[in-house]
């Protein structure tokens, strides 16, 4: 299931990049969604105005359960929101969505804050890609914040992937995942 959902997101990202987006948010869909939601994936996104997941992955309303915070870092509030998505809504895929030109990552590198939200941004010690590193580190961070999410990953019911969205090219590239069920290429 998680594999299918990830494939759908990668396919949607390709449609978006090529100007072939198909998501339709009409009255019929809204009526249908009034009866309930079963999103195919949850996303931790940055607050940045350039990275809306519904647009980037070409998904309609009801498809993505999105939690956002500057720097796309898992916080206790985000972990609790995702527990609802996973436990109650049955969501089997969590995407940690980093992005290029992230102001939060740049701020963390420049100032190395020791408290507050930006201190939670993970920055590498060497030449590693900071955006990829921060997104990837979100996986163990999220599992550390939520024993329930960690248990679902270990039982195979939930997959967490991390990736970086390139603001210029529009491409979302996977950089890490909790299971080797690749849906790219
Ligand atoms: Zn950002």
In CATH terms, the fold of domain 2-13+38-45+73-177 is: Beta-carbonic Anhydrase; Chain A (3.40.1050)
Task: Work out the pLDDT band at 158, boundaries 50, 70, 90.
Answer: very high
Distance 73 CA to ligand 1 centre (A): 10
pTM score above 0.85: yes
Look up tokens 């790219």; give the residue.
Answer: 184
**SS3 call for 176:** strand
Mean pLDDT computed over every residue of the chain: 94
Task: For residue 162, list its beta bridge partners.
Answer: 96, 176
Domain positions in the chain: 2-13+38-45+73-177
Reported as a single tens digit per residue, the pLDDT across 9-67 is 999 999 999 999 999 999 999 999 999 999 999 999 999 999 999 999 999 999 999 99
Tell me the sheet residues that pair with 41: 64
Distance 107 CA to ligand 1 centre (A): 10
Dist. CA 112 → ligand 1 center (Å): 16
Examine the pLDDT at 83 and tell me if it is beyond 90: yes
Distance 76 CA to ligand 1 centre (A): 19
For residue 105, report the distance from its CA to the centre of ligand 1, in Å: 7
Query: DSSP string of 125-153?
Result: SSSS-HHHHHHHHHHHHHHHH-HHHHHHH
Nearest C-alpha neighbor of 55 from the set 180, 184, 167, 181:
167
Going from the Cα of 75 to the center of ligand 1, the distance in angstroms, rounded, reads 15
Cα–Cα distance measured from residue 15 to residue 98, given in angstroms and rounded to the nearest whole number = 20
pLDDT score, position 106? 93
């Amino acid at each position: 299931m998680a594999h299918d959902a990830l494939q759908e997101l990668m396919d949607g990202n390709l449609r978006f990049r090529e100007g072939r987006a198909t998501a339709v948010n009409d009255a019929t869909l809204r009526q249908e969604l009034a009866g309930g939601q079963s999103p195919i994936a949850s996303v931790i996104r940055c607050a940045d105005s350039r990275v809306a997941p519904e647009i980037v992955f070409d998904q309609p309303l009801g498809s993505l359960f999105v939690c956002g915070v500057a720097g796309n870092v898992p916080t206790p509030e985000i972990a609790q929101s995702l527990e609802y998505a996973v436990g109650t809504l049955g969501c089997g895929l969590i995407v940690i969505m980093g992005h290029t030109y992230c102001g939060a990552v740049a701020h963390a590198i420049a100032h190395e804050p020791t408290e507050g939200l930006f201190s939670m941004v993970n920055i590498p010690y060497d030449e590693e890609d900071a955006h990829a590193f921060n997104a990837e580190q979100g996986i163990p961070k999220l599992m550390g914040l939520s024993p329930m999410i960690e248990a679902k990953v270990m039982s195979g019911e939930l997959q967490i992937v991390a990736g970086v969205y390139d603001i210029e090219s529009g491409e979302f590239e996977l950089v890490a995942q909790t299971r080797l069920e690749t849906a790219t290429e």
